[in-house]
Amino acid sequence: MPRSVVVTGDHAGGLQGQPERQACRPPPRLLLRLGMASSELIRDPWMMTNLTTGEATHVDPTRLSVLNHVDFLCRVALPGEATGGGISLVEERGRLGCMTPRHVHTREAETFIVLDGALEGWCEGKTRLVEAGQLIHLPANREHAFRVASGDAHFYVLITPAGFETFFPATGTVLDQSFDGELPVPRAVSPEKVGELKAVLTPLGVTLTGPPPFDPS
């Protein structure tokens, strides 16, 4: 598996010549700390992306913070500030039993790229098994969820446009361990944690719509 990622982009926000969007503009920019040393990202959910060529960005995954995020191990491999807001990339590992509730993103699409094991994707009542070497693309404004469907799974989540990657460090716990280390044991999410998740998700344009749609057995 490749241990580094090289992309091009710059940090400028906004696209020259595009009119500013006035209707339903959200509150002032949400400031979230990425959880990586000396790294902050300011994300305006209405900011246009800028994909002009800039400096190359090299990522050494071994230097990234490892998070326990609702019992998935994850790390933000590529934040949106490195790509002009065009894309971001999150790497995750989880055990059988890890799953998400049903939810809807109003801004971004998610593409799940399975490296090892298998995921089961659910989108508006239809399920699909996604095995190693396969991917599933879930567009914005479509209710969806996913779960680990093998003993464990390792996968990337490609987020387009960027911004949603800030959710993981904002609601996860930084661990003092290797990303390749022991996986957390999945547990029920407490009502207090659900409230914390909603408080961060709402300004990002994401709504929790129901419990996981999967058979708990």
Q: Tell me, what's the pLDDT at 71?
A: 98
Question: Looking at residue 99, what is its pLDDT?
Answer: 97
CB 13 within 8 A of CB 82: no
In order of start, what are the domains of the chain with their CATH numbers?
Answer: 65-176+192-211 (2.60.120.10)
- 61-72 burial, b if ≥16 CB within 10 A, otherwise e? beebbbbebbbb
Calculate mean pLDDT across residues 122-132. 97
If you ran DSSP here, which 8-state letter would residue 168 be given?
A: H
d(CA 6, CA 139) in angstroms, rounded, equals: 25
Q: In sequence order, what DSSP letters do the residues of 83-141 get, joined into one string?
A: TTTS-EEEEEEEETT-B--EEEESS-EEEEEEEESEEEEEETTEEEEEETT-EEEE-TT
Q: How far apart are CA 27 and CA 112, in angstroms?
A: 30
196 pLDDT above the threshold of 90: yes
Q: By the 8 A CB rule, do 94 and 81 touch?
A: no
Instruction: Give the pair of three-digit tokens for residue 168.
Output: 């993981």
Other CB atoms within a 10 A radius of the CB of residue 133 amount to 9
Give the CA distances from residue 97 to residues 150, 189, 191, 212, in Å, rounded to whole numbers and listed in that order.
9, 12, 18, 11
Mean pLDDT of 126-151: 97
Residue 124 has pLDDT above 70, yes or no: yes
pLDDT surpassing 50 at residue 4: no
Q: What is the mean pLDDT of the chain?
A: 82
Q: Whole-prediction pTM value?
A: 0.77
114: its two tokens: 């399975």
Whether the pLDDT of residue 39 is over 60: the answer is no
